[in-house]
Amino acid sequence: MKSSAFELKHARTLGEATELLAGADGNAKVLAGGQSLVPMLNLRLARPKLLVDIKRASGFRELAADDKVFSIGAGWTHAEIEDGVLEDPTRGLLRSVAHGIAYRAVRNRGTMGGSLAHADPAADWVSTLAALGAVIVAQGGEEQPKRYAAESFVDGAFSTKLGESEVIAAIEVPRLSADASWAYQKICRKTGEFANAIGVAVLDQKAGIKRVLAGATSGSPALLPETAARLAEAGPGAACEIAAEEIRRVLPNLDIDTQELHAVAVRRALATLGGRQGR
Amino acid sequence: MTQVSMTVNGGGVAADVEPRTLLADFLRSELHLTGTHLGCEQGVCGACTVVLDGRIQRSCITFAADCNGADVTTIEGFDDDPTMQELREAFSECHALQCGFCTPGMLTTARDIVLRLGDIDERALREELSGNLCRCTGYVGIVAAVKKVAAGRKPNVAAAVAPVTVSRFEGSRSRPASLLATNGPVTRSSAAAKAAPIGGSAGGTSIEERVRVAAPPEQVWSILSDLKRVVPCVPGAEITSLDGEDLVGKVRISLGPIKVAFNGQAKVGMDSSKREGWLTGRGRDSGQGSSAAGSARWSVIADGPSASLIAVTLTWKLSGPLAQFNRAGLVQDVVRRLATAFAENLEASITGAAPPRRKTTLGGLGLIWSVIKARLFSRQ
Amino acid sequence: MRGRGRFVGDIHMPGLREVAFLRSPAAHAKISSKAKSPDHAVDTFFSEDLIGVSPIVTRSSIPGYKVSQYPILATDRVRFVGEPVAMCVAKSRAIAEDLIEQVEIGYDDLPVIASCAGGRRENAELLHPEWGDNLFLETFFDSGVDEVIAKAPISVELEMTCARQTMHPMEGKGVLAWWDDRADQLVVHTSTQVPHMIRAGLAECLGIAQAQIRVAPPDVGGGFGYKCLLQPEEVAVAWLAATFKKPFRWTEDRREHLVAGANARQHEYHVKAYADAQGRLLALDAEVSVDTGAYSVWPFTACLEAAQAGGNLPGPYHLPAYRCRTYSVATNKPPFAPYRGVARPGVCFAMEQVIDAIAQKVGREAWEVRRDNLVPASAMPYTNITNKHYDSGDYPEALVAAKDMIGLEAFRAGAKRDDRGRYLGIGFASFTEQSAHGTKVFASWGLPLVPGFDQAHVKLTPDGALEVAAGIHTIGQGLETTLAQIAHEQTGVPLKHIRVTLGDTATTPFSTGAYASRGIVMSGGAVSRAAEVVAGRIKSIAAHLLQVEPAAVGFAEGRIFAANASVTYEDVGRAWYLRPDQLPETVNTAGLEATEGYKPEVDTGVFSYATHAVRLAVDPETGLVEILDYAIVEDCGRMVNPMIVEGQTYGGAAQGIGTALFEESPYDDNAQPLASTLLDYILPGPTELPTFRIDHRETLSPYSAHGIKGVGEGGAIAPPAAIVNAINDALSPLNATIRQVPASPQRIREAIRRARPSQATESRRDVAR
């Protein structure tokens, strides 16, 4: 089980990567950490003619911040985030999620940007960043980078809004205030395995963030605005009561069992949030 | 061929490699360092774990050509490592190996745990070890051995961390519009449908999608009875020839990095008395060897006096590698989106509206659409 | 541990070419066309190129058994997804896989048999048209149950199923074959448990004399039953080497293992059990179907599973009346192989649920009903209704000990749910493990190769070390260590001076191999005998050197003593090999080496037994199960090396937990396998497994050397039963039961949902909210 042949080019800048992708007629893939892509190459399910490596491209690992936003270069690895090599603007959510991604050896090479671009519905960053209301910044052919709202970035399984020649450059994460609380619940059968359901709740009244999300659907993650509004108004207990019903409405294509499992994940996230607020 | 040079177990190595050569294969075949084992080539089992630039990584999902300038240590490179020495002794003592196949990767991971995290509780230790599979021992001896060596050690997480520079954020403050792909107005619904037989043999998965159109069924059907108009609404479909009911063509489907093009034949037909049409075909992707048999059915049903429902049912049966890569209904999600797109395209071909933006992979429709639109508008 | 192991994939050889197989994407199809790429025709092989090669044919002496022709490469039909259709060779595996993609095969789909029921349906498509149906074998046993059934006060009826599994040694199958010009011999380095049998199988398929084949297995990265088969790929690669006189290798990758590797475990049980008001078994009326796949494996036949299932279902219990019908159904899936425990994990899973169901019916604790039904120690040796001859042991005592270890009384007195709302339960499973069964037993299963005497060769070297050679092969079960220990016990040669060679057909005497938990009993017995013979000769030479009678000589502290005087083993070795002038005329001319064979006198097998007890928590919302405690009380007779016994037991139990909770190779209605990666097929990792607790009993078997009983498989037998019983105990307040393994979260959620008062009330309540 070895990959079919391809050409490998190392882009020095994200702009160069964009040009290489644009010239490849849809037969190129970006290679960052490769922790999701290479298994598919090995299985010969993915068979690009060109791989554009961007690990060392300038502009791929930049950090920029102010009091509202922390922008993380897409090339930072899960392990670097886990270890706190860079600041966590979410007061622990990013570090905690990073720690739960696959296994350490994978986290040491896999990147946040790569995981988003791959858009496995069950991957952790897809749900986490959507729940945070992060912005995904992509470099395309144009001068100005494109900016995508994380919650609508993923269209479905392995499918994103990203154009064929666009590369994710950075993820702008809103800073959470000292008042903020968050909770992340992943339901899976085995450590490091992809989740069967994810529930995320982020509440930061000061920063105006109130978001609840059901993730690891077979397609894009689903925000639960009514549950979130109830959370902000009446607290986690009240939000729990309406979560299942909202999930049934926003994810009508899932069977009852899966809808219920998502409701469990969301309710548990809300309950954890309640526990944290109580402290 | 790509030239790479790297340091392996302390010595410099330079070689020409094919870009697709895995680091593990390079170590094993070129350097004869066969202690690095390949257990799955899927990044799951951990038998191939090596230390790459100071961090444990999977050599089965890393390309050698992507390791230019890297510093690699394999199991053969730890002979003078005191921690590894302790681990080896503990592994022997605790009966932590039987067949020995997972052992090099297991030891490499164990060393990382001991050095990085020190003395952690058993639950955390088991979590950290979970990227390495052993089929013989039930992990009893392995956990005991690592615990023993880790006992009393201090963690050393951020030892090699260089200072991080953070610049001032100059980006836009506005949040981009959230283009939520909701199911929109209540006119649309989809559901798993009862599997319909395809080409005589049973089985297959079906998805139904319904679109409500504000026009009476006769009018809708009069438009949908033109096969040349309907067939291109199947997303990703390309028609090579359409002769009577025989169609030759191609359907492109994309599942992220997985791209398949099913080349094949189909029969198309319709029954105007029932206001329904169908397309049944089969095709094969020459690269992967996956093949698909499938059908699309569309029918127009009255919904009150002045409105109709277009019901689209896609049924498919896959075989080969794509069928076998079926984690958590991913293929189902793609087909559901195909059905949605098909229904939307049909709706658009009735109402004359441009279909919603679709990327070429799901649509492949750009060109075809312009043709349809022209015809449609001329007809109205 | 230094990376110096040598597995098939590690071997380097000049000119080595790698082999890749084109595998069928269709489960059942006629091959309508085959075309090689014109550029690579010489490196591409179809069935018709393999001149002189016969298909794998496994005959059985059981009447009514139907023989399949398992082609090395498919001829005109494919019968499972993954069946080899063509092979390509190249200097690297990657290039060989490139070539595979250029081969064009046309398939005309045939109706697919994807289940036992599908295979047995009237007018079902026939996999092997000449058979007339899709049954490898149907068996029927009836001791006469009707009268008992009519009068039985209590009855239960259960339907239970085990999912299809794959075995997953961490090293997949691999074979490297080359031609040794000097010896004019085909040399096959294959990852196998049974090298001597593989030689016989290869000779048969290739039409080469056995003497012209040497099978020399390198290190084997786990076997578990998967590597005791002759595989078509093995024959194909051997044919390449024998034909082109060059080295060729195929290594199975994980997808091949998942999709095409020999499958196991898929049983369906329909059992009616009858008991008295106390829950004592009166009769069992069972039907067992095994989803056997498309072809028979060699040499274990396609009916070994069903034969064992029928024969072992009564378990460790006293059962007065028994009726059982078994079906070995041919389906469009990979062939069925004897995975660790063979049929017994399924059998135990079924029988132990029956016991629990009876207990529930009569309102008693399951362990009490179990105890009352177990064969008591006072009845040993005991011959049961299917003529199994239980040799020794105290089954009820092990059960009671396990019950105490898991703390049943305290548990029953405590809360039924934990602080996270999870339901708690305890489950038990008791079983016997027939091990080291010999000639008569295998002959009764109709195998083409019936194991007889296992042999070992022992030799003292001129410098006083001991060489032990046995034809069995090590697959990580620690056999070198245990065999060395046995040789040491007989000869006194220090362990560090004993060298064990295994498996190589050129240097070891015949053994059928490592399977059926027989290694330690059979090869251990042979080594013991050979070492005993050599020990006697060492003594007589030593006695001569010490000028005493042989009877006065003994071994101690690595030397040979007579009273206070002593000589070394090197002195003895030197005398025989280098200074025969020092020897008396009467010396035994067979020298310091001997080959001896062994099989137990009573070769109906020796029965290890155990009770597993598990305490676990079930999350009713997610269906996730956490094992909180796992206790094992086992008796494998005399323990040669307790650490190895425990290692085997833990490893087996880990695989059993995989069967119970995680592992499944699902197939769709068209018999397409749906698990092709280790993300779809979950192998239990360190966080999914408990810290096992184990307690030993050592009841020596009267029938084997040193009273040893086999231990390789037992661990894997009980976990599915114990865990499902514990889950059902936990879910009893919800009236939910699960009768299927793996007891996946989804199945548990379904079981709970099914048990809800009614879906209708549920949705009304939702609306009301």
**What's the pLDDT at A47?**
92
Quick: pLDDT tens for C443-452: 888 888 888 8
C-beta of residue A154 within 8 angstroms of C-beta of residue A188: no
Can you give the pLDDT at residue B252? 81
The whole-angstrom distance between C98's CA and the closest CA on chain A is 7
> Are residues B61 and B91 located together in one domain of the fold?
no
Closest chain B residue by Cα to residue A107: B57
Q: pLDDT tens for residues C252-274?
A: 999 999 999 989 999 999 999 99
Distance CA C30, CA C106 (A): 8
The pLDDT of residue C162 is: 98
Contacts of C255 in chain A (CB under 8 A): 1, 43
Residue where a domain terminates, one of B77, B112, B141? B77
Query: Looking at beta carbons, which residues of chain C come within 8 Å of B260?
Result: none
Q: Is the domain of B117 the same as that of B227? A: no
Q: What is the model's pLDDT at position B182?
A: 40
Which residues lie across from B284 on neighbouring strands?
B263, B291
- Distances A82 to A93, B157, C12, C121 between C-alpha atoms, Å: 10, 10, 41, 56
Domains of chain C by start residue, with CATH:
8-110+168-260 (3.90.1170.50), 341-437+604-755 (3.30.365.10), 453-598 (3.30.365.10)
The neighbouring-strand residues paired with C561 are C554, C566
Asked whether the beta carbons of C615 and C726 are under 8 A apart, the reply is: yes
SS3 A264: helix
Beta strands across the sheet bearing A222-223:
A181-187, A197-204, A209-215, A222-223
Kindly report which listed range (A226-230, B309-313, B356-360, C728-732) carries the lowest average pLDDT score.
B356-360
Mean pLDDT of chain A: 94
List the C466-470 sheet strands across, edge first.
Answer: C498-502, C466-470, C454-460, C593-598
- If you write DSSP's letter for every residue of B45-112 in order, what string do you get? S-TTEEEETTEEEEGGGSBGGG-TT-EEE-GGGGTT-HHHHHHHHHHHHTT--SS-SSHHHHHHHHHH
User: What CATH number does residue B119 fall under?
Assistant: 1.10.150.120
Q: Which amino acid is at C191?
A: S
Same domain, B63 and B89: no
Find where tokens 């609306």 sit.
C767
State which CATH number among 3.40.50.1220, 3.40.50.2020, 3.40.47.10, 3.30.390.50 fits the domain covering A181-278.
3.30.390.50
- For C587-605, how does the pLDDT look when each residue is reduced to its tens digit (9 = 90+)? 999 999 999 999 887 777 8
Question: Same structural domain for residues B71 and B98?
Answer: no
Task: Indicate whether C743 pLDDT > 60.
Answer: yes
- In this structure, the answer to whether residues B208 and B109 fall within a common structural domain is no
CATH of residue B317: 3.30.530.20
User: What pLDDT was estimated at residue B357?
Assistant: 43
Q: Which residues of A touch B130 (CB under 8 A)?
A: 103, 190-192
Instruction: Write out the two tokens for C285.
Output: 């009326």
| Claim to verify: residue B325 and residue B203 sit in the same structural domain | yes
**Distances in whole angstroms, Cα of residue B239 to Cα of each of B231, B265, B268, B372, C540:** 8, 10, 12, 14, 91
Q: Cβ C683–B133 below 8 Å, yes or no?
A: yes
Residue environment code for C603-639, b if the CB has 16+ CB neighbours within 10 A, otherwise e: bbbbbbbbbbbbbbbbbbbbbbbebbbbbbbbbbbbb
Query: Min CA distance, B310 vs chain A (Å)?
Result: 18
Q: Which CATH class is domain A7-53?
A: alpha beta
Dist. CA C308–CA C431, nearest whole Å: 14
C638-683 pLDDT per residue, tens: 988 899 899 999 999 999 999 999 999 999 999 999 999 998 899 9
Q: Are residues B102 and B69 in the same domain?
A: no
**Coil, helix or strand for B238?**
strand
The architecture of the domain spanning A63-174 is: 2-Layer Sandwich (3.30)
Residues B36 and B93 both lie in one domain: no
pLDDT of B164: 83
Looking at the structure of chain B, the number of domains it has is: 3
Which helix or strand (DSSP H or E) is residue A38 part of? helix A37-42
Within a domain: residue B155?
A: no
The larger pLDDT score, comparing residue C741 to residue B308, is at C741
C580 versus B250: the higher-pLDDT residue is C580
User: By the 8 A CB rule, do B4 and B64 touch?
Assistant: yes
pTM of the model as a whole: 0.93
> B287 lies in which domain range?
189-379
Structure confidence by residue, pLDDT tens digits, A252-273: 888 899 999 999 999 999 999 9
DSSP A181: E
Distance from C-alpha of A262 to C-alpha of A221, rounded to nearest angstrom: 11
Q: What is the ipTM of this complex?
A: 0.95
B170 found inside a domain: no
Q: What's the first-to-final CA gap in chain C, in angstroms?
A: 61
Among chain A residues, the shortest Cα distance to B256 is held by A158
B323 contacts in chain C (CB < 8 Å):
25, 668, 672, 674
Low-confidence ranges of chain B (pLDDT < 50): 159-160, 180-189, 192-202, 328, 356-380
Residue A111 has pLDDT above 90, yes or no: yes
Task: Assess whether pLDDT exceeds 50 at residue C744.
Answer: yes
Question: Which stretches of C558-641 are DSSP H helices?
Answer: 569-577
For chain C, what is the mean pLDDT?
94
B86: closest CA of chain A, how far (Å): 22
DSSP letter string over A55-81?
A: TT-BTSS-EEE-SSEEEEETT-BHHHH
Total beta-carbon pairs less than 8 A apart between chain A and chain C: 59
Instruction: Note whether B9 and B85 are same-domain residues.
Output: no
By Cβ distance, the residue of C685, C688, C769 closest to A241 is C769
Give Cα C81 to chain centroid, integer Å: 24
- Round to whole Å and give the CA distance between B347 and B350: 5
C618 CB-near residues (< 8 Å, 6+ apart): C422, C423, C424, C425, C624, C625, C727, C730, C731, C748
CB contact under 8 Å between C650 and B74, yes or no, is no
CATH of the domain at B69: 3.10.20.30
Q: What is the pLDDT of residue C769?
A: 34
List the one residue out of C173, C358, C218 whose CA is nearest residue C284.
C358
Give B-chain residues touching C631 at CB under 8 angstroms. Answer: none
**Interval C32-78: pLDDT, tens:** 999 999 999 999 999 999 999 999 999 998 999 999 999 999 999 99
CB contact under 8 A, C253 and A1: yes
Greater model confidence, B245 or A137:
A137
Quote the pLDDT of residue C686.
97
- In chain C, % of residues over pLDDT 70: 98
Name the region of C393 (left: φ>0; alpha: ψ -120 to 50; beta: rest).
left
Which range, of C396-405, C530-539, C634-643, averages the lowest pLDDT? C634-643
* Minimum-distance CB partner of C94 among A2, A244, A261: A2
From the list B20, B254, B359, the residue facing A3 with the nearest CB is B20
CA–chain centroid gap for C613, Å, is: 22
Those residues whose C-beta lies under 8 Å from the C-beta of residue B202, and which sit 6 or more positions away, are B195, C669
B62 and B112 share one domain: no
Beta-bridge mates of residue C566:
C561
Contacts of B286 in chain C (CB under 8 A): 101
More confident residue, B203 or C610: C610
Pull the structure tokens for residue B363. 């649509």
Tell me, rounded to whole angstroms, the distance of Cα C584 from its chain centroid.
51
Residues B253 and B372 in one domain: yes
pLDDT at B329: 64
Return the structure tokens found at C249: 């290798």
Query: Hey, CA dihedral for C106, C109, C110, C112, is it positive or negative?
Result: positive
Q: Closest chain A residue to B337 measured between Cα atoms?
A: A156
Residues of C in contact with B135 (CB under 8 A): 168-170, 222, 224, 651, 654-655, 683
Which of C621, C679, C769 minimises the CB distance to A264?
C621
Q: Which of C154, C164, C141, C143 is closest to C309 using CA atoms?
A: C141
Residue B367 pLDDT: 31
List, for residues C153-197, the tens digit of each pLDDT value. Answer: 999 999 999 999 999 999 999 999 999 999 999 999 999 999 999
Domain ranges of chain A: 7-53, 63-174, 181-278
Mean pLDDT of A32-61: 94
Let me know whether B326 and B280 are in one domain: yes
